[in-house]
């Protein structure tokens, strides 16, 4: 099962190919996507993305995770989160969201089992 391409990104809006939902923040993995609701894990811009935000994506058997920190990179990614992914044998890329989406889509095109979490505003 392949990861879905991100079809479009603009401030506050993301579309995933094959999905009718418009996301503000989203999680993607091989075979699916959904809204990334920060309230589920108590995530805020600081300290930022937590391992709990990534568990669902990791459980899908991804080899790489791309984290989009927002258009202005306001969303932090603590060392503990990166370490969590590496301990699970997963490569991680932490980038500004536009760059993250471009990198994610390039990995999808190469057939990599890639997942991601993307913040589409600040």
Q: Where are the beta strands (DSSP E) in 38-122?
A: 64-68, 91-95, 114-119
pLDDT at 61: 96
pLDDT at 94: 98
Q: What is the mean pLDDT of residues 4-27?
A: 97
Q: What is the mean pLDDT of residues 110-115?
A: 97
- Give the whole-number percent of the chain exceeding pLDDT 90: 99
- Please tell me the pTM assigned to this model: 0.97
Which has the higher per-residue pLDDT, 67 or 1? Answer: 67
Residue 63 CA from chain centroid, whole number:
13
Residue 54 belongs to what H/E stretch? Answer: helix 51-58
Q: What is the mean pLDDT of residues 83-97?
A: 98
Domain architecture of the chain: domains with CATH: 6-118 (3.40.1230.10)
Residue 64: both structure tokens together: 């790489």
The string of pLDDT tens digits covering residues 45-88 is 999 999 999 999 999 999 999 999 999 999 999 999 999 999 99
| Mean pLDDT value across the chain | 97
pLDDT at 66: 98
Instruction: Locate all alpha helices (DSSP H) within the chain, ordered by sequence.
Output: 51-58, 79-87, 97-109
């Amino acid at each position: 099962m392949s990861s879905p391409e991100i079809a479009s990104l603009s401030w506050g809006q993301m579309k995933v190919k094959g999905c009718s939902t418009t996301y503000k923040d989203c999680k993607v993995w091989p075979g699916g996507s959904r809204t990334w609701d920060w309230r589920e894990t108590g995530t805020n811009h600081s300290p930022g993305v937590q391992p709990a935000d990534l568990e669902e994506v990791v459980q899908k058997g991804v080899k790489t995770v791309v984290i989009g920190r927002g258009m202005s990179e306001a969303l932090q990614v603590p060392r503990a989160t990166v370490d969590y992914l590496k301990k699970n044998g997963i490569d991680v890329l932490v980038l500004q969201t536009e760059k993250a989406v471009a990198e994610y889509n390039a990995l999808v095109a190469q057939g990599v089992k890639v997942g991601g979490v993307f913040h589409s505003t600040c």
